[in-house]
Amino acid sequence: MKRVGFLTSGGDCQALNATMRGVAKGLFHIYQDEIEIIGFEDGYKGLMYANYHLMNRSAFSGILTKGGTMLGTSRQPFKLMRVPDENGLDKVELMKHTYYKLKLDALVVLGGNGSQKTANLLSEEGLNVIGLPKTIDNDLWGTDMTFGFQSAVDIATNAIDDIHTTAASHGRVFIVEVMGHKVGWLTLHAGIAGGADIILLPEIPYDLKKVVKKIEERTKGGSRFSILAVAEGAISKEDAALSKKEYKKRLEERAAKYPSVAYEIGARIQEMTGQEIRVTVPGHMQRGGAPVPYDRVISSRIGAHGAHLIDEGKFGRLVVVKNNVITDIPLSESAGKLKTVDPNGDIIQEARLLGISFGDK
Ligand code: F6P
């Protein structure tokens, strides 16, 4: 009898359930009745404090399209993993204790950057770990694609599409703020898909004068409205020149005045142009609802590959998508690295040819 643990960690996204279903279906196919799946509740917390339940075949039925995670999740920052918990206990030791007590043969971690760093740590501590690449941010190093990303692109694009009609009616400048944490993948893809005129990304610091220039050019050219897709991590050229400490202070000052970056940009453009600006923030909607078919396919394939790795006894691996092939790399290769948008990459050059401004020139 094999015994495998599952946990979902960090911010949720679409296709977490679909991915677990993929692994489970693969395992049931390979091992028939000789497999037990243990689901840890609320991410690493469940592994630390032994909150878990047995998941039988029926637990994985009817969940391909269900958003969220049936196991629950929580954020357990990697940097705090070696900091003792409120009872003075070592979190890593707690997790190892649960793993060995349950006599697990493998642990499957569905998570993004921080979660996979912890997965790598557990692997280095001797546990048999498989990482599966989750996040709407698509910023996990080593994989072309993470599950959740395309579903979030879909939602953010729909938001931009809907804003287009009202922006056109009123002749307004609209800003749609898109999630993505410190990287611009989601904003870039939703911005292009939604036909945004200006896209502001963390990787390409903006100059507001250039942003305003683009809006004015559009107005002169007869366009009644402009749409900006702004990443939640967008940064101005002045702010990009600040030290880490100075930037932190700057963000604190901004937070006291504006709910987020888009509101500050909106207020400043309004001052500079006298035009009416409106801001829309789809926020956590971008992580919710059913996965799009693309995500259902890659998450099922990623899950099946995870089951295959367990069967092969190949651990310490992160399942990745490379040129449409589902493969795996060492967890240690990805841990601690961020996949950012290349400011000189093809997609940026192509977007510029389409007339999209990144607010930098
Ligand atoms: O990593 C996914 C993500 O949605 C980011 O895009 C965003 O910055 C962050 O999580 C929001 O985190 P929380 O749900 O903790 O507010």
- pLDDT (tens, 9 = 90+) of the chain, 361 residues, equals 999 999 999 999 999 999 999 999 999 999 999 999 999 999 999 999 999 999 999 999 999 999 999 999 999 999 999 999 999 999 999 999 999 999 999 999 999 999 999 999 999 999 999 999 999 999 999 999 999 999 999 999 999 999 999 999 999 999 999 999 999 999 999 999 999 999 999 999 999 999 999 999 999 999 999 999 999 999 999 999 999 999 999 999 999 999 999 999 999 999 999 988 999 999 999 999 999 999 999 999 999 999 999 999 999 999 999 999 999 999 999 999 999 999 999 999 999 999 999 999 9
Strand partners, 328: 319
Whether 143 lines ligand 1, by a CB cut-off of 6 Å, is no
Question: Ligand 1 centre from 288 Cα, in Å?
Answer: 12
Atom of ligand 1 nearest to the CA of 284: 4
Tell me if the pTM is above 0.95.
yes
Check residue 35 and give its pLDDT: 98
Question: Ligand 1 centre from 68 Cα, in Å?
Answer: 14
Of all protein residues, whose CA lies closest to atom 2 belonging to ligand 1? 11
Check residue 215 and give its pLDDT: 96
Question: Ligand 1 centre from 13 Cα, in Å?
Answer: 10
Strands 2-8, 325-330: parallel, antiparallel or unpaired by DSSP? Answer: unpaired
Whether 303 lines ligand 1, by a CB cut-off of 6 Å, is no
Integer angstrom CA distances of residue 162 from 23, 91, 169, 313: 37, 46, 12, 48
Site to probe by mutation for ligand 1, drawn from 13, 181, 188, 260 as the one with most ligand atoms within 8 Å of Cβ, is 181
Check residue 44 and give its pLDDT: 98
Atom of ligand 1 nearest to the CA of 180: 6
Check residue 29 and give its pLDDT: 98
Atom of ligand 1 nearest to the CA of 233: 8
Whether 137 lines ligand 1, by a CB cut-off of 6 Å, is yes
Check residue 218 and give its pLDDT: 96
Check residue 327 and give its pLDDT: 98
Catalytic-labelled residue, pool 137, 154, 295, 328: 137
Check residue 143 and give its pLDDT: 98
Whether 134 lines ligand 1, by a CB cut-off of 6 Å, is no
Atom of ligand 1 nearest to the CA of 136: 2
Question: Ligand 1 centre from 80 Cα, in Å?
Answer: 18
Based on the residue annotation, tell me whether 161 is a catalytic residue of this protein. Answer: no
Check residue 148 and give its pLDDT: 98
Whether 135 lines ligand 1, by a CB cut-off of 6 Å, is yes
Instruction: Give 176's contacts (C-beta < 8 A, 6+ positions apart).
Output: 156, 159, 160, 163, 190, 194, 196, 227, 228, 229, 230, 262, 280, 281, 282
Question: Ligand 1 centre from 155 Cα, in Å?
Answer: 15
